[in-house]
Structure formats: structure tokens, C-alpha cells
Chain A
Amino acid sequence: MSLLEVSDLHVWFDLPQDQQVHAVQGVSFALDPGERFGLVGESGCGKTTTILATMGLLPPTASVSGEVRVDGQNILAGGEDSARGYRWKDIAMVFQGAMNALNPVKKVGWQIAEPMAFHGIAKGAAARRRAGELLEMVGIPAASAERYPHEFSGGMRQRASIAMALACQPRILLADEPTTALDVMVQAQILDLLTRLSSELGLALVLVTHDLPVVAQTCGRAAVMYAGEIVECGPMETLFHQPRHPYTRLLFAATPDLYGAGEVVSIGGAPPRLDEPSAGCPFRPRCDVVLERCAEEHPALRLVGPGHEAACHHAERAGAS
């Protein structure tokens, strides 16, 4: 039994005029303690929606199906009431955009301590002391707890929002684009911090990003999302060296190489619309190896190697090329 198990997660958003967007289409993944898992994909592919659904934090216009199991317990079974007990205590989140995740008129320490009382961790002076400890843990002097967010630099704010997520000693940490809008040096420090926290505290980490090198540097395993579904999932090294889905292969080809050896390719076209169901493979219009089958049959995620899954009709051939 895994620590976190997301299975067959679907999310629909209601649009005006009875339309719907099927934003997440049957996403499944599992995590063990201390594992670092990357969720990669381009903007709008459903990464953030997936982890917001995992936390049970979607707006009322969304409907969700599927299961999110923590220690085998489906935390979404009882709706908001059952999710609230787990949220932040077992499964916490670093929100996208650390600049906005902090309330500008409240002291940072107060904001870190806020959830502790709700979950019976600590109160009053003890909570404030713990907030200081958490800040030390993410590399900020404890005295800064008495400061306001505007007195922090971008990197410090990102560290503070990680400290916030750790307030109730969660076992699972979902980080949504934690390094976006940070410069490369700070980005490396934050990734280093997340890696160390996950190995020293045994945190299971889900890292959501559109930045492939970030995932490659941090995660042991990763899933590539396209148009609301996972198209390929496996150990990072396998994904990098033997991608079986054309999208993964093209994504890596689109990342510039440090030595400038390979040519940087761009993937033409745009992701499909998610408000109208389509037959066949969603990546077909942009794919470079299309078979007749691709237009008719939707490829399912299937095992193509040890711990390696891909949703492509010609996964074997792609691996060979």
C-alpha cells in the first residue's frame, strides 16, 4: 500500500451554456514515503488541477470523480468534510506564486502558525516558537517570523511558503511550480531544500512544473501530462534516455542542451480543446509518427518496460528509433 494513491481521477469544469471542460481525464499515480515524483506538461494540461483535486481544493464549478487514498483511506469520499481532516495535516501544498501565497498584512510567523491550532499541533507561544523553528529549517533566521512578507525577497517568500506547508508535519508535500519566477540561483537553492527536506523528513514530494530540467534534477520518477491525461510515466532516467511517447521525446528535444550539441526542436500546433470529446489519440495532430490506428482508437496507458508506462500505439517502435 502506497502512502499516496491517486486513481482514475477525473475533473470537469462547468462552463456557461451547459458546456463542460474535461480538464483531468483519468490520472493515476502512487507515491511512497520519501519519494520525489514530478508532474510535467505544458500550460493548461491539467497539472495544477490534478493536485488541487488531490487536495480537495477545487472551486464549486468543478466536479470530481476518482479516488485519492492516503494510507488506503479515500480522503475525497466524504467531500469537503473528510478532506479537511487530512488537508495540511497529512497532505500539504506549496501554492503556485509564493508572492501571493502570503497575506501582505500579517506577519510571516503568524501565517505559519495559523494552521497549527486547527489541527491541534500547537497554540499560542508554542506555535510561534515552532513557526520560528520551521523558518530556521528552511534557511531563514527565526527572528524573521516577526517580519511582514514585503520585507522578504522572492526566494525568502518561497522558503516561507514551504515552511508554511510543513507547519503540521505533513507526510506528503505537493509543490505547484515552486521555482517559477525565481532566478536560476535561487531556483537551485529551493530545489536543494525540497530534496533535503524530502530525504530527511521522509516527505513524499510531488513536484509540478513545466520545466523539465527541474524535474530531472530533483525527482526519481515523473509523469508527463498532455491534454488532461498522463501519457508517459516512469523512472526519470528511462524517460530521459528511452522515451516511448512521441510527446516526451519531443519535449526533451525542445529543451536546449548545455553544450549546444543537439538542435532545439519546437513542437508545432497547439494542445486540443478539452470541451469537446474527440476520438483517437489527442496528440495525433502534432505527432511526427502517425498511424491509421491513431485517428480511431484512443491509446491507453500500458506497461512498456519495468515501471515504465506509455499511452501510445507505437510505443515499442518509438523506443527503438
Chain B
Amino acid sequence: MTLPIQDPALAAEGLGVPPRRHGFLRSVLRERKAAVIGLAIIVFFILLSVIAPYISPYSATAQTCAVYAPPSSRHWLGCDDGGIDMLSELMQGGRISLVVAFAATFVAMVIGGGVGILTGYFGRWIDTGLMRVTDYLLVIPDLVFAVVIADLWGPSLFHVIIVIGILEWTSTARIIRAQVMSLKERVYVKRAQAIGSGHARIITRHILPQVGPLLMANTVLTIAIAIYLETALAFLGLEDPTVTTWGTILEHAFERTAISSGAWWAIVPAGFVIAIVIVGCFLLGQAIEDALNPRLKVAHLSVRRWRIRPLAGRGPDAI
């Protein structure tokens, strides 16, 4: 059943090779410098963590110099109270810190994304029920709750991951829910129902691709919060004492008289890398968020400005 009713104007409009669609992330990176810087920071620390065992100058557990030895040409960032090289310790600590942060964020995004989509899509009692749980977790002070749970379950990396995971999904769930509620009323979702798609298919094929970028922005922002919380928990001594993370480095320095000894090199570098990674995550996360919601952008500060081109020099007929 072919019935060509070609309209020349339409044909001209539709002709040619369809342009390649660039990924969302790529377009964000192209338009925003902050996103590039943020991503560069994150990628740098991930790479550093991966290759740390091969490039770290000394052991991260054995004594290689004097207690609180100041920075020198052999030990760039000095040594801690156990005579362990700070630089090696930072590299090793970053591995654990980032793994904990990523794992906790993964847990948070699975719960948050899942709850957001379920409540937004199905509504009714599912929405009411799960949203009350969300509200409950949302109003609990994060750190206090984390301290209580971590203390109750005992210090362990796995517990820290779970605690951060179950604390940090709430805002993601709310944001995703709002978006899904708006999406499910769109006509194309109605059409998908009409042609016989089940709920699972509508969610995976029509809803998820639309909330994907939003989930991406939230993931990056949550990584920052997870690193911060992990550091806080470690600093309070609720992390497994046998592992080295950026948080435990700070805790040891604080507890073992680094400050009164004037050993700033035991504190400042760890604090600095934590801050840098968090800033990197926020730069990237907020750039993605901006791209998703252009209204966040103030018009006169918008990324690209258009110009008025003078008409002079375009021939006598130019008006």
C-alpha cells in the first residue's frame, strides 16, 4: 500500500542525510567550560586512583621516614605520625574514598531513581506510601542519622556505603518524581498505551530516556555529597580503622597532635583534595543541571550572545 503524495516543499525539507545527534553530555561539555574543568578534575582523580599502586613513591602502610617529617625533596608532602609518606597515603586513601563515594552514589541513584519513577508513574497509594518514607528520610539530619547507624552496625566500609546510600536518595527521588509526573501525561505516553505497550516498556523506552540526563546531573552532585559524608564519618571514627581513606587521614592527623606539632602537611593536602573533588563534581553537576533547565540561566549572562551585524557594505540594495 504505497501511495506517494510527495509535496516538493516537504521533500526538500526532509532530504539529505540525517545529521548525527551528539550525546547530551558532549553538548554540555562543548558549551560550558565549567563542565570541562569539573570532568577533568573527576577523571584526573579516578585515573590517579587506578594507577596509584604503580606510581606511589613509597608504601602507604610502612614507615619510611621520621615521625612528622616536614616536606622535603624525598617526601614531597612530608610524613605522618607513623612516619608514612603522605603522598603515598593520599593516593591510597583516594582509591578507597572514591570507591566508597561511587558505590554509595550508585545505591542512592538506584533507590532514588526507582522510587522517583515508581511514585511519579503509578501515583495513588504507591506515591503516598513511598513519598512519606522519602519525607521522613529527608527531614532527618543526615550526619546525626549516619553517626547513629554507623555506630549501631559497627565500623565497616560496607556499612558506610549503605548508610550514605540510604540517606542521599531522597532529593533525587523527589526531582525524578516531579519530572515523571509531567512526562506521563504527555500525549506520546498515551499513544504508547494505546498501541499496547505495558508499564515496563513505557517506563524503560519512553520515560527513562527522558529522565536520564536528570539522573546524570543528580549522580554527579550526589558523588560530591557522598565524599563529604564519607570524610565526616571517617573523621568521627566510624570508618573501618584498618583502611586508609582521605577521611581517616584527617582523623589521624587530628587525633595524633598534628596541629599542636605544627605538622600542617598532615592536614592541608587531604583537606585540599577533598575540596577539589567536591568542587569538580559540583561544577560538572551544575553545568548539566543548567543545560537541562535553561531558566536557571539569567538571560544577560547567557553563554552565547547574538550580535547585530551592520548592513553597510552589502551592496546598494541592502536595507
Contacts and interface: CB of A to CB of B under 8 A. Distances in A.
Interface of A: 55, 57, 84, 87-88, 93, 95-97, 100-106, 111, 114-115, 118-119, 133, 136-141, 143-144, 146-148, 151-153, 155-156, 159, 164, 167, 169, 189, 192-193, 196-197, 200-201
Contact of A144 (B1, B3, B5, B14): B14
A196 B7 CA distance: 14
Interface string B131-142: 000000000000
B195 interface: yes
B144 interface: no
A193 B187 CA distance: 22
A111 B14 CA distance: 17
A149 to B, nearest CB: 9
B303 interface: no
A316 to B, nearest CB: 43
B18 A151 contact: yes
A151 B5 CA distance: 21
A196 B3 contact: yes
21 contacts: A87-B194, A87-B196, A88-B195, A95-B191, A101-B188, A103-B192, A103-B210, A106-B209, A114-B195, A136-B4, A136-B6, A137-B1, A137-B2, A139-B6, A140-B10, A144-B14, A147-B14, A148-B21, A169-B1, A196-B5, A201-B1
Contacts of A105: 209-210
B195 A141 contact: no
Contacts of A155: 10
B194 A100 contact: no
A141 B15 contact: yes
Contacts of A101: 187-188, 191
Interface of B: 1-7, 10-11, 13-19, 21, 186-188, 190-197, 205-206, 209-210
B188 A100 contact: yes
B6 A114 contact: no
Q: Which of A141, A193, A196 has the most CB of B within 10 A?
A: A141
A139 B206 CA distance: 26
A93 B209 CA distance: 25
Contacts of A141: 11, 14-15
Given A88-B194, A137-B2, A167-B195, 19 more contacts: A95-B187, A95-B190, A95-B191, A97-B187, A100-B187, A104-B210, A105-B209, A114-B195, A114-B205, A115-B196, A133-B2, A136-B6, A137-B1, A139-B5, A139-B6, A139-B10, A139-B11, A143-B18, A201-B3
Contacts of B197: 114, 118
A168 to B, nearest CB: 8
A115 B4 CA distance: 23
Nearest to A193: B5
B176 to A, nearest CB: 16
Contacts of B15: 141, 143
Contacts of B5: 137-139, 192-193, 196
A130 to B, nearest CB: 10
A146 B15 CA distance: 11
A102 B188 contact: yes
B196 A84 contact: yes
A97 B13 CA distance: 21
Nearest to B19: A151
B97 to A, nearest CB: 35
A200 B5 CA distance: 12
A115 B188 contact: no
Q: Which of B3, B14, B205, B209 has the most CB of A within 10 A?
A: B14
Top 3 nearest A-B pairs by Cβ distance? A115-B195, A100-B187, A118-B196
A50 B206 CA distance: 27
Nearest to A85: B196
A84 to B, nearest CB: 5
Given A57-B190, A88-B194, A193-B5, A103 B206 contact: yes
Q: Which of B4, B5, B191 has the most CB of A within 10 A?
A: B191
Contacts of B188: 100-103, 111
A143 B1 contact: no
Contacts of A197: 3
Contacts of A164: 191
Contacts of B13: 153, 156
A189 B196 contact: no
Contacts of B14: 140-141, 143-144, 147, 152, 156
